[in-house]
Amino acid sequence: MKLFSKERPEIPIVDHLKEDGTEWTIKEKLWLGLSISEYKKQFMRNPLNWLMILICSVGIPLIIGRFVFGLGWVTHASNDYPWGLFLGFGLFGMVPLSASGFMLGTTVELFGRKDFHSIERLALLNGLLGYFFAVIFLEVDLGMWWRLPYPMFVSLGPAAVLFLVAWHVATYLSVQIAEVLPALFEWCGWLKGKRVIRKYVLGLTVAGIILSTLHQGALGALFCYAPAKVHPLWLSINFQWIHFFCSSIFAGLSMVIVVSTLIKNGMGWRCDDEFLDNLDYVTIGMAKGASYAMITYLIIKIVAVAHDQEWSYLLTGWGSYYMLELAVAVVLPMLMFAIGIRNHWVKLIRFGALIAAVGIIWNRLNTSLICYNWQMYQEIPHWKEIWITVTVYSFFFMTYRFILYRLPIVYNWKGEK
Amino acid sequence: MKKLFNRRNFLKGGLATTAAAAVLKNSDSKAAGDFTGYPEGMGVLVDLTRCVGCRSCEAACNEEQGLPEPAKPFNDLSVFDELHHGQKRRTNEAAYTVVNRYDVPELDHPLFKKFQCNHCNEPACLTSCFVNAYTKTPEGAVIYNAKVCVGCRTCMIACPFYVPTFKYSSAFKPQIMKCIFCYDTRLKNGDAPACVEACPQEALTFGRRTDCIDMGRQRIRETPGKYVDHIYGEHEVGGTAWMYLSSVPFDKVGLNTHVPKEPIINSVKDFLAMVPMVLTIWPGLFVGFHLLATRKDRVIEMEKEKELAKQNEIDEKEEQV
């Protein structure tokens, strides 16, 4: 696309009208204004696409196999570790990284910080897709995946934590769709819909905060069901929900920093000047927000150790691992943020954000897999399970890119708004 | 004009509401808090000192529940040496109960322990299930409804005894597989489960849970030194229907002594109590933040409007002049 956008002035599409004054059709917009052969050419030229093809060529048959032969065909069918990578990574890891939607929605719409406007849509989209694919991961993992709506409509168990997760993720997904729809409406030129949503934006944002607080917390509280299984250092009965909620704040912000960096470097042709010019400023701003969340998180993690009288655990091997996690996944990026913010070293912040985002996945995997059944044995996921996880994640990547190429997320629509 | 309500109706309504609230509150307080099991609930006392590891109970269970025939026959005792991931045998989709051998250094003979669902008074599987697939029956069994289960396997996470297992082998009809106390075929009619009936050693005693506890205490009292002075399951995770007597500390025979004394759901109550607070407080709080944060813009706007109004007034006056 970089080449095409240099050669042809009308590409990338930012307006309803072509150079000659006629309108782009939706089909042309979908093909990015390229002919099919041109589209193919740009597709083949990108080595990332070859990697995707490689992953999917094995992964898609594996996914089909999972649905035809059952979960036992792709996993170790463990009764000791009922939750594997699909939930450990896909649900518990993806959801905190998707907290960006409500974070920046709140910043811009609720606190009126219009200076973060240029990144808001990206954060909302990041949230929406993260949640959507967390649900996809869940579907891959559910034994009776066709019964997904059962907890909502068929048989209700409202006193269970998972009931809250189900309802909140479902309603929040709808809220996020509503929040991202204006971009779609601009792109296809249906302004009435955009105006309708604009009216409810404050309500949607507040709903987003409530639902996020509760289900980010609820994901943590799920582990309170296993007080005798998860290692005590990774489980605090009283504070688990707030640990998960608080860490999702910097996880979501770090994820947006990581994604925006990738966009800036790999998709520069798609961004407009507002996005690129503001990026360093908003990155520093988000890093500031993330550092506050990190220091809070660090303190409440220590408070939890003190509250449960777990100091002696810190001297064991598990304790060293715990401190390693906190040092690498929280303290290190926090220091990088602090130094980066002070000296305006945006590159350092970006690197720190990558560490923090990976670190949060590490924390969730520790809680759900590695330090789960710590007194038993270590489950190492089946290679098929790992491959399917990577495949679904690459679907996430491709969908993300597909939307960024088209909808006005990192650029402003020039036509009617 | 129609009156919506007069004083008499209002009083009536008020009284009715109060009465309803009182009744509801009463039934509520019965259900919540300390549920210690149905008074008539049945239980089983497992006496480890009597078990000889013949596996008759395993065979009886297999037949009663129509489970697939195992690779090794039930009289094959080599299964006691099997280790999976360094762990002794456990329940799975083809076995609702297993017997394991424990070599305890202090004793000159091994101990055997039968294990199955303990049928808790306040089961973690039940309280963690978001589709209400589990029921604790007044007879004491924890049963499962495969028709509503979505296969999320949270019950397997929640169960402190690692009891529920999943039929991973099935793509189209997977379900949770666990001991149901022979509820459908026996317990409902007041009969002992198949395993208890099959035990040749009277290691398993079936009776009312309260009676089982009495009997356990009696055995401990009457044979001093034979038993550890504790009935495992009397208080563990809020009490279980199946309970154990042992001559050695329970952790030496593979029973987790670190499980909480309270029902598992108590660990989650902190969070559950916070939910309605967030739902009700957050909207007001954050709309308030919004109003505070955008106050300056509003003030500027208002001043602009005032100025505009003034300007208009002046304009109008000028026009009149």
What are the pLDDT digits (tens) for A57-91?
A: 999 999 999 999 999 999 998 999 999 999 999 99
Q: Do B86 and A377 touch (CB under 8 A)?
A: yes
- Between CA B135 and CA B187 the distance in angstroms is 14
In a domain, A336, yes or no: yes
Half-sphere exposure for A132 (CA within 13 Å, toward CB): 17
| Inter-residue contact B97 to B195 (CB < 8 Å) | yes
The H-or-E segment that residue B8 falls in is helix B7-31
Q: Which of A1-15, A78-92, B84-98 has the lowest mean pLDDT?
A: A1-15
Closest partner residue to A162 (CB to CB) among B86, B128, B162 is: B128
Same domain, B278 and B219: no
Mean pLDDT computed over A245-255: 95
Closest partner residue to B158 (CB to CB) among A79, A151, A226 is: A226
Q: Name, in order, each residue with C-beta under 8 angstroms of A248's C-beta and a sequence gap of 6 or more.
A: A95, A96, A99, A212, A216, A360
How does the average pLDDT of chain A come out, rounded? 91
- Between CA B12 and CA B8 the distance in angstroms is 6
Same domain, B88 and B234: yes
- Between CA B177 and CA B164 the distance in angstroms is 6
Q: What is the 3-state secondary structure (H, E, C) of chain A?
A: CHHHHHHCCCCCCCCCECCCCCECCHHHHHCCCCCHHHHHHHHHHCHHHHHHHHHHHHHHHHHHHHHHHCHHHCCCCCCCCCCCHHHHCCCCCHHHHCCHHHHHHHHHHHCCCHHHHHHHHHHHHHHHHHHHHHHHHHHHHCCCHHHCCHHHHHCCCCCCHHHHHHHHHHHHHHHHHHHHHHHHHHHHCCHHHHHHHHHCHHHHHHHHHHHHHHHHHHHHHHHHHCCCCECHHHCCCCCHHHHHHHHHHHHHHHHHHHHHHHHHHHCHHHCCHHHHHHHHHHHHHHHHHHHHHHHHHHHHHHHHHHHCCCHHHHHCHHHHHHHHHHHHHHHHHHHHHHHHHHHCCHHHHHHHHHHHHHHHHHHHHHHHHHCECCCCCCCCCCHHHHHHHHHHHHHHHHHHHHHHHHCCCCCCCCCCC
Q: Do A210 and B274 touch (CB under 8 A)?
A: no
Question: Which residue, among B93, B268, B297, would best test binding to A if mutated, counting the most A CBs under 10 Å from its CB?
Answer: B268
Q: What is the DSSP string of B257-320?
A: TTS-SS-GGGGTHHHHHHHHHHHHHHHHHHHHHHHHHTHHHHHHHHHHHHHHHHHHHHHHHHHH
Closest chain A CA to residue B171: A70
Same domain, B227 and B281: no
- Between CA A10 and CA B30 the distance in angstroms is 72
pLDDT for the residue A45: 87
B65, two tokens: 């529940």
Q: Which of A176-185, A407-416, B197-206, B251-260 has the lowest mean pLDDT?
A: A407-416
pLDDT for the residue B4: 47
pLDDT for the residue B150: 93
pLDDT for the residue B32: 47
pLDDT for the residue A18: 79
Same domain, B188 and B286: no
pLDDT for the residue A365: 95
Same domain, B48 and B155: yes
| Inter-residue contact A80 to B89 (CB < 8 Å) | no
Which band of pLDDT confidence, cut at 50, 70 and 90, is reported for residue A16? Answer: confident
Alpha carbon A232 to its chain's center: 27
pLDDT for the residue B33: 53
Instruction: Check pLDDT > 80 for residue B18.
Output: no
* Nearest CA distance, B261 vs chain A (angstrom): 11
Closest chain B CA to residue A141: B152
Closest chain B CA to residue A143: B151
pLDDT for the residue B21: 47
Question: Can you give the residue range of the structural domain that contains A348?
Answer: 79-378
Q: Is the dihedral of CA B216, B220, B226, B231 positive or negative?
A: positive
Same domain, B193 and B87: yes
Task: Go through A54-84 and write b for each residue having 16 or more CB atoms within 10 A of its CB, e for each that does not.
Answer: ebbeebeebbeebeeebbbbbbbbbbbbbbb
Same domain, B228 and B285: no
- Between CA A62 and CA A76 the distance in angstroms is 14
pLDDT for the residue B27: 41
Instruction: Specify the DSSP class assigned to residue B92.
Output: B
Question: Can you give the residue range of the structural domain that contains B297?
Answer: 268-306
Q: Do A83 and B153 touch (CB under 8 A)?
A: yes
**Residues in chain A, how many?**
417
- Between CA A201 and CA A110 the distance in angstroms is 9
The last residue of one of the domains, among B239, B267, B295, is: B267
Residue tagged 């009149």 (tokens) = B320
Q: Name, in order, each residue with C-beta under 8 angstroms of B311's C-beta and a sequence gap of 6 or more.
A: none
Same domain, B210 and B180: yes
How does the average pLDDT of chain B come out, rounded? 87
Closest chain A CA to residue B83: A377
Q: Name, in order, each residue with C-beta under 8 angstroms of A44's C-beta and a sequence gap of 6 or more.
A: none
Q: Do A82 and B283 touch (CB under 8 A)?
A: no
Contacts of A83 in chain B (CB under 8 A): 153, 157
* Nearest CA distance, B145 vs chain A (angstrom): 11
Which band of pLDDT confidence, cut at 50, 70 and 90, is reported for residue B8? Answer: low
In a domain, A125, yes or no: yes
Give the three-class secondary structure for B102: strand
Instruction: Check pLDDT > 60 for residue B2.
Output: no
In a domain, B141, yes or no: yes
CATH number at residue B186: 3.30.70.20
Condensed to tens digits (0 to 9), the pLDDT of residues A118-149 reads 999 999 999 999 999 999 999 999 999 999 88
Whole-prediction pTM value?
Answer: 0.89
Contacts of B131 in chain A (CB under 8 A): 150-151, 154-157
- Between CA A51 and CA B189 the distance in angstroms is 62
Q: Do A77 and B268 touch (CB under 8 A)?
A: no
In a domain, B5, yes or no: no
* Nearest CA distance, A210 vs chain B (angstrom): 6
Q: Which of A82-91, B23-32, B235-244, B294-303 has the lowest mean pLDDT?
A: B23-32
In a domain, B275, yes or no: yes
Q: Do A145 and B148 touch (CB under 8 A)?
A: no
Instruction: Check pLDDT > 60 for residue A50.
Output: yes
- Structural domains counted in chain B: 2
Closest partner residue to A111 (CB to CB) among B157, B175, B293 is: B293
Contacts of A241 in chain B (CB under 8 A): 270-271, 274
In a domain, A415, yes or no: no
* Nearest CA distance, A269 vs chain B (angstrom): 35
Question: Which residue, among B96, B135, B152, B236, would best test binding to A if mutated, counting the most A CBs under 10 Å from its CB?
Answer: B152
Same domain, B276 and B260: no
Q: Do B148 and A147 touch (CB under 8 A)?
A: yes
Same domain, B154 and B276: no
| Inter-residue contact A110 to A205 (CB < 8 Å) | yes
In a domain, B97, yes or no: yes
Which band of pLDDT confidence, cut at 50, 70 and 90, is reported for residue B23? Answer: very low
Q: Is the dihedral of CA B56, B61, B66, B67 positive or negative?
A: negative
Condensed to tens digits (0 to 9), the pLDDT of residues B95-139 reads 999 999 999 988 889 999 999 999 999 999 999 999 999 999 999
CB pairs under 8 A between A and B: 183
Same domain, B191 and B53: yes
Contacts of A237 in chain B (CB under 8 A): 267, 270
- In chain B, the percentage of residues whose pLDDT exceeds 90 is 67
Q: Which amino acid is at B195?
A: C
In a domain, B180, yes or no: yes
Closest chain B CA to residue A161: B128
In a domain, B94, yes or no: yes
- Between CA B300 and CA B298 the distance in angstroms is 5
pLDDT for the residue B6: 52
* Nearest CA distance, B250 vs chain A (angstrom): 16
- Between CA A278 and CA A411 the distance in angstroms is 12
Same domain, B138 and B228: yes
Rg of chain B, C-alpha, whole Å: 31
Closest chain A CA to residue B88: A376
Condensed to tens digits (0 to 9), the pLDDT of residues B173-213 reads 999 999 999 999 999 999 999 999 999 999 999 999 999 99
CATH number at residue A359: 1.20.1630.10
Residue tagged 């009597």 (tokens) = B50
- In chain B, the percentage of residues whose pLDDT exceeds 70 is 89
Strands (E), chain B: 42-47, 98-102, 111-115, 134-136, 142-144, 165-166, 176-177, 204-208, 242-245
Q: Do A238 and B270 touch (CB under 8 A)?
A: yes
Rg of chain A, C-alpha, whole Å: 22
Per-state percent for chain B, helix, strand, coil, to nearest 5: 40, 15, 45
Instruction: Check pLDDT > 50 for residue A310.
Output: yes
- Structural domains counted in chain A: 1
- Between CA B194 and CA A389 the distance in angstroms is 43
In a domain, A138, yes or no: yes
Q: Name, in order, each residue with C-beta under 8 angstroms of A290's C-beta and a sequence gap of 6 or more.
A: A249, A250, A253, A254, A257, A337, A353, A356
In a domain, B221, yes or no: yes
Q: Do B283 and A150 touch (CB under 8 A)?
A: no
Closest chain A CA to residue B151: A143
B96, two tokens: 């609702």
